[in-house]
């Protein structure tokens, strides 16, 4: 009988394999993970459900993976050099959407191998390439796999050739599996045990463990997920977080198999969780190194590069008294989502709130949804925008994350962030895709045919043009076949202006936006028409204007509510009627000079909820 390493601790590194599943959205990562859980017996058959590792309701509703999940699996390979020996597999299921690339990069740091999963009916997509390059940068062992070979539209021979050309292997080396039926999954597990190198580390050195994720538990405080690189960690020992210098006692150490289970400790190469009873969410930083408080390691592990937010939006509670709740909620959410950044801000129209930085529109939408679901908050979010660098006429430099801090007067130069964009489309949609990119001020960098029917287009584009409706437009023009991936590429000088929306001559900061001069007229017209429909009629006429500086570029009027002052006039001289109308007009004029426009909360919500969700798809099959 083989030893049950899956539930055992301090497993020999020679019997451990750490790997990640990486792929484009909708290529079946979570479904394949389900089959692995079943085949290895990690989940009881009666407890099994689809997308088992997608724990959040929002993940299950949208059919997308948002958080990387780790799980420990036992497997006895039937073939290869380690056939017949029980191997412990640590699998990390990662998200596929471009907004969650940071989750993928953190997961890869804890692995020695990666399963590159490609849909046998769709082939390599833009995000597949981005994740592949991430894995190659970290020198991981790549195992190419074609999934969904059971689909009628599957063409595994064609796409195996495509994969082989990109990663430099033979088409026969590309494994073929079906996450739905389970075909080929056991051969994949055998291959993982054979080719993924075991973890390397010094078992006798002071312990060093990398924090790659953490969550907040209401009852137990911060739960920290770690990968041990050197030494071993045991319960009831005093540990220190090397970047913050905070010391704690380890109350519990455990593994995820796939539910949390306490164990006697973790050794070299093992992945598990630590509970220290910490309630302060700032003390457990992703990328930090855990070591002993006494006689610990001197040098921390490399950790992670801090992600830089690419899209900013203001989040405000509809009820002002919820501001402290929102602050605590953001603290707890940041623990679980290291890519979220925020700082307090105030708005004349919306009160106290936070300026939040996100990696993309889907990230923004998911964060807002989680705040509303998990913490019961009702929120308004302002229109998303990016960070601009403005050099004023006097030479002073400003970083503008919010239209309200745009410097007044004439500006010498305005820099906007740009991104390298990779778009993969079927060849018949190349023309319409190029036309769309040019309309968004894209600068073409190159074009390659991946195969006879699929083309890779590369553009440099302003990030501000991508964050609104670019993805939706691309999908609709290519009948859903295009895939998009982008990464930061610096900044460029652009002719950008701030468009103010004025109600009765007063600027409403919540509706202001920074746009390219060529698009200013369109934005002004759109907002004035929208607000005319949303703001109720007042006792006097209200002009809604869009302006660049002192120049009005668009205007709509909300007509006044008029009482019929002539109802009592029947017959008689016209001068009497004129006198009554003039008297009413004077009253309206006096009211207008002292009155304020009443903008209901619903109008803010409706006007600011720009329907710009980046990708509501990502349904797994």
- Tens-digit pLDDT profile for residues 298-350: 777 776 666 667 778 888 887 778 888 888 888 878 766 767 888 888 876 67
User: Which residue, 499, 506, 465, is CA-closest to 484?
Assistant: 465
User: Which residue, 274, 259, 260, 292, is CA-closest to 222?
Assistant: 274
User: Which residue, 476, 424, 465, 410, is CA-closest to 443?
Assistant: 465
Which tokens is 395 given? 């030479």
Query: What is the DSSP code string of 288-356?
Result: -EEEESSS--SSPP---PPPPP-EEEEEEESSGGGHHHHHHHHHHHHHH-TT-EEEEEEETTTEEEEEE
Structural domains present in the chain: 13-195 (3.40.50.300), 208-292 (2.40.30.10), 311-382 (3.30.70.870), 389-494 (3.30.70.240), 497-603 (3.30.70.2570)
% of the chain exceeding 90 in pLDDT:
0
Which tokens is 317 given? 């509670």
Contacting residues for 219 by C-beta, under 8 A, at least 6 apart: none
471-528 residue pLDDT tens: 778 877 887 777 777 777 888 888 888 888 888 777 777 778 888 888 888 888 888 8
The helix, strand and coil proportions of the chain, stated in percent and rounded to the nearest 5, come to 30, 30, 40
In terms of residues, how long is the chain?
A: 621
- The single residue listed with the structure tokens 């130069």 is 413
User: Which residue, 113, 261, 118, 247, is CA-closest to 179?
Assistant: 118
338-351 residue pLDDT tens: 678 888 888 766 77
Per-residue pLDDT at 542 exceeds 70: yes
User: Which residue, 105, 77, 78, is CA-closest to 92?
Assistant: 105
Q: Name the binding residues.
A: 26-31, 147-150
Which pLDDT belongs to residue 1?
31
Pick the more confident residue, 25 or 420: 420
418-476 residue pLDDT tens: 888 888 888 888 899 999 998 888 888 888 887 777 888 999 988 888 876 677 788 77
Per-residue pLDDT at 83 exceeds 80: no
Q: How far apart are CA 274 and CA 404, in angstroms?
A: 44
Mean pLDDT over residues 204-230, rounded?
A: 81
Q: How far apart are CA 407 and CA 420, in angstroms?
A: 29
Which pLDDT belongs to residue 44?
61
Which pLDDT belongs to residue 261?
80
Pick the more confident residue, 286 or 242: 242
Q: Name the binding residues for GTP.
A: 26-31, 147-150
Check: CB of residue 198 under 8 Å from CB of residue 13: yes
pTM of the full predicted structure?
0.66
Per-residue pLDDT at 146 exceeds 60: yes
Q: Three-state SS for 474?
A: helix
Mean pLDDT over residues 75-93, rounded?
A: 79
Mean pLDDT of the chain: 76
For residue 406, give the DSSP letter.
P
For residue 23, give the DSSP letter.
E
Which pLDDT belongs to residue 618?
38
Q: In Å, how far from its chain's centre is CA 141?
A: 26
Going by pLDDT thresholds of 50, 70 and 90, the confidence category of residue 6 is very low
* Best mean pLDDT range from 9-13, 78-82, 186-190, 286-290: 186-190
Going by pLDDT thresholds of 50, 70 and 90, the confidence category of residue 52 is low
With 0-12 / 13-18 / 19 or more C-beta atoms within 10 angstroms meaning exposed / middle / buried, residue 491 is middle
Q: How far apart are CA 201 and CA 189, in angstroms?
A: 24
Q: Find the range with the poorest average confidence among 43-57, 160-174, 244-258, 489-503.
A: 43-57
Per-residue pLDDT at 214 exceeds 60: yes
Check: CB of residue 292 under 8 Å from CB of residue 200: no
Backbone angles phi, psi at 11, to 5 degrees: -65, 145
The helix or strand, by DSSP H or E, that contains position 129, with its residue range, turns out to be: helix 126-137
Which pLDDT belongs to residue 47?
59
Which pLDDT belongs to residue 9?
55
Q: Find the range with the poorest average confidence among 221-235, 262-276, 446-460, 537-551.
A: 537-551
Which pLDDT belongs to residue 621?
34
- Using alpha carbons only, give the angle 466, 472, 473 rounded to the nearest 5 degrees: 80
Mean pLDDT over residues 180-196, rounded?
A: 85
Backbone dihedral region for residue 80 (phi beyond 0: left; psi -120 to 50: alpha; all else: beta):
left
Mean pLDDT over residues 547-568, rounded?
A: 74
Going by pLDDT thresholds of 50, 70 and 90, the confidence category of residue 4 is very low
Which pLDDT belongs to residue 389?
86
Per-residue pLDDT at 40 exceeds 70: yes
């Amino acid at each position: 009988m083989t030893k049950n390493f899956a539930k055992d601790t301090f497993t020999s590194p020679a019997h451990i394999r750490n790997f990640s599943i990486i792929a484009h959205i909708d290529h079946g990562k979570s479904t394949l993970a389900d089959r692995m859980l079943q085949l290895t017996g990690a989940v009881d058959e009666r407890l099994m459900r689809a997308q088992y590792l997608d724990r959040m309701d929002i993940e299950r509703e949208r059919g997308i993976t948002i958080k990387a999940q780790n799980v420990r699996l036992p497997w006895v390979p039937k073939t290869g050099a380690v056939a017949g020996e029980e191997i412990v597999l640590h699998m990390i299921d990662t998200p596929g959407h471009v907004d969650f690339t940071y989750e993928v990069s953190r997961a890869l740091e804890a692995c020695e191998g990666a399963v590159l999963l490609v849909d046998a009916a769709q082939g390599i997509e833009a995000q597949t390439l981005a994740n592949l390059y991430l894995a190659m940068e970290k020198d991981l062992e790549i195992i190419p796999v074609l999934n969904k070979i059971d689909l009628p539209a599957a063409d595994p021979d064609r796409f195996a050739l495509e994969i082989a050309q990109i990663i430099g292997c033979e088409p026969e080396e590309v494994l073929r599996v079906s996450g739905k039926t389970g075909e080929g999954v056991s051969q994949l597990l055998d291959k993982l045990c054979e080719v993924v190198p075991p973890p390397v580390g010094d078992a006798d050195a002071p312990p060093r463990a990398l924090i790659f994720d953490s969550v907040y538990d209401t009852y137990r405080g911060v739960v920290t997920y770690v990968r041990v690189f050197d030494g071993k960690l045991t319960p009831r020992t005093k540990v220190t977080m090397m970047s913050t210098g905070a010391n704690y006692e380890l109350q519990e150490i455990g593994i995820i198999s796939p539910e949390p289970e306490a164990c006697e400790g973790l050794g070299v190469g093992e992945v598990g969780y630590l509970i220290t009873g910490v309630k302060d969410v700032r003390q457990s930083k992703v990328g930090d190194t855990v070591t002993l408080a006494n006689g610990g390691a001197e040098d921390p592990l490399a950790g992670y590069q801090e992600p830089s937010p690419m899209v900013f939006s203001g989040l405000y509670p509809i009820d002002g008294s919820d501001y402290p709740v929102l602050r605590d909620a953001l603290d707890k959410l940041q623990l679980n989502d290291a890519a979220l950044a925020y700082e307090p801000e105030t708005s004349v129209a919306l009160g106290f709130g936070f300026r939040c930085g996100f990696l993309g529109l889907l990230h923004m939408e998911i964060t807002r949804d989680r705040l509303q679901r998990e913490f019961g908050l009702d929120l308004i979010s302002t229109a998303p925008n990016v960070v601009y660098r403005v050099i004023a006429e006097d030479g002073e430099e400003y970083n503008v994350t919010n239209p309200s801090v745009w410097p007044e007067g004439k500006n010498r130069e305005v820099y906007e962030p740009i991104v390298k964009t990779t778009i993969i489309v079927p060849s018949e949609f190349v023309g319409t895709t190029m036309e769309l990119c040019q309309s968004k001020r894209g600068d073409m960098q190159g074009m390659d045919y991946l195969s006879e029917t699929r083309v890779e287009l590369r553009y440099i584009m302003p990030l501000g043009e991508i964050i609104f409706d670019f993805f939706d437009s691309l999908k609709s023009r290519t009948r859903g076949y295009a895939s998009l991936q982008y990464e930061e590429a610096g900044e460029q000088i652009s002719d950008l202006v701030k468009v103010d929306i004025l109600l009765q001559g007063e600027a409403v900061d919540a509706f202001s936006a920074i746009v390219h001069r060529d698009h200013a007229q369109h934005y002004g017209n759109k907002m004035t028409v929208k607000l005319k429909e949303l703001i109720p009629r007042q006792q006097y006429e209200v002009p809604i204007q869009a302006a660049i500086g002192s120049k009005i570029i668009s205007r709509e009027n909300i007509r006044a509510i008029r009482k019929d002052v002539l109802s009592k006039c029947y017959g008689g001289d016209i001068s009497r009627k004129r006198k009554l109308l003039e008297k009413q007009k004077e009253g309206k004029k006096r009211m207008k000079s002292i009155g304020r426009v009443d903008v209901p909360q619903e109008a803010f919500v409706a006007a600011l909820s720009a329907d710009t969700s980046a990708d509501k798809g990502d349904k797994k099959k």
